[in-house]
Amino acid sequence: MKLPSLRIPRGLRGFESGLAEVFDVTLANGRVASVEPAVDASALRGTLISCPVDAHVHLDKNYTVREVGPASGDLFAAIGRMERHRALWSVEDIAARMERALLQAWRCGTRALRTHLDWPGPEAPRALAAFEQARERWRGRLELQFVSLTPLNAFADAQAGERIAQAVRRAGGVLGAFVYRNEGLVHKLGRVFDLAQEHGLALDFHVDEGLDADATGLRAIAQLTISRGDRRPRVMCGHACSLSVQPPEQAQGTLQLCAEAGIGLVALPTTNLYLQGAWDSTPVPRGITRLREAAAAGVRPMLATDNVQDAFYPYGSYDLVETFGLGVQMAHLAPAADWLGTITTHAAAALGLGWDGRIAPGCPADLVLLAAQGEYELLDAEGRARTVIRAGRVLPSEPESKEPPA
């Protein structure tokens, strides 16, 4: 299959392009066979990117807003509502909602997702069984990872923490925690790091998800990561909203530590825009972390979906390209094409995927052809229209069934 006259954003090029800006791409045997300067650069057809990677979602909570109601800007009210509702979930319920989400993500072009699973105590949640079913069902189509989402204070109980870490290791997951202005913060975080090192686990934190300037979990995580030296685990941090309201010098110092530690930073524009800031007036703080400053400091920032139609965010979908557009507008990420790594290459590296998402001869032909012919069409509805290519084959625009394709 030949895909003629396409733009490939510079950050997604894994080949020497010289002065060329428009390319002809040939696919064969499920891979990119060649990338050459276009024979007819004037006949531009669109923008080619690698299939996106969603680095932070919640497949266990989604599509529950009709039952629990929206929290309307109150993070801890949302947490409480979901805790009460979670007791009613069955493996079958969760599996059905996960399948709905994964089908949508697949059709929108996403190739990998990392989901956080609520894990409040030492016993593995029902959601883990549902996730394991989904991971097996989608094997070879979507790469799925999970993170145990546990309140940091739960790790004060050494036995509980050990049981969680053992279960996460057995299931091939990532160890995680919810961190926000905890007493004894460094001590409890240190225990999580100890468990990660003892069990060979990566770490992924919900951190500083609020607009309190004294929330400094991100800094503590970066310092602990650095202190572990060569034995440091791979670490990702999501949210870090408090960074946006801290003095610039303080925020800059934290980001420099994150860069030294090699921490991946994920912003979640839909949920944080909905949950952070006042609801009795138009909110002035936007609730998004300092993405531009992070990139300037050497941190590779990401944008991800987070919640979909639950108490934390009652709207949304698993269209990561649409979420990217919101992030570009919220954080003034310009030129937008220069930030496509936030949903492709940066996320692929942070999740440790086998392909870094750069397009080059020999790479997988898992691609998304956007109709956008240039920078200023990337965010409009027509520009986001896309052709999804999986293993070198065009995905039909309309599903023939609700079964994942073989």
- 405 preceded by a cis bond (ω within 30 of 0): no
Q: Is 391 left (phi over 0), alpha (psi -120 to 50) or beta?
A: left
Task: Scan for tokens 């989904």, then name that residue.
Answer: 134
Q: Give the whole-angstrom CA distance, residue 391 versus residue 141.
A: 9
Decide if 209 is catalytic. Answer: yes
DSSP summary character for residue 287: -
- Would you call 369 helix, strand, or coil by DSSP? strand
Determine contact, residues 297/252, Cβ cutoff 8 Å: yes
Exposed (0-12), middle (13-18) or buried (19+): which is 207, by Cβ within 10 Å?
Answer: buried
Determine contact, residues 307/313, Cβ cutoff 8 Å: yes
Is the sign of the CA dihedral 224, 230, 233, 237 positive or negative? positive
- In the sheet that 2-7 helps form, which strands lie side by side, from edge to edge? 31-37, 22-28, 2-7, 46-50, 367-370, 386-390, 393-394
Determine contact, residues 232/239, Cβ cutoff 8 Å: no
Q: Give the whole-angstrom CA distance, residue 30 versus residue 390.
A: 8
Rounded to 10 deg, the angle between the 91-108 and 126-137 helix axes is: 40
DSSP summary character for residue 397: S
Q: Give the whole-angstrom CA distance, residue 303 versus residue 103.
A: 20
Determine contact, residues 41/374, Cβ cutoff 8 Å: no
Determine contact, residues 243/218, Cβ cutoff 8 Å: yes
The H or E element spanning position 205 is strand 203-207
- Would you call 110 helix, strand, or coil by DSSP? coil
Q: Give the whole-angstrom CA distance, residue 128 versus residue 238.
A: 21
Q: Which of 99, 132, 143, 209 is catalytic?
A: 209
**Residue 335: C-alpha distances to residues 310, 377, 379 (Å):** 32, 12, 12
Residues labelled catalytic: 209
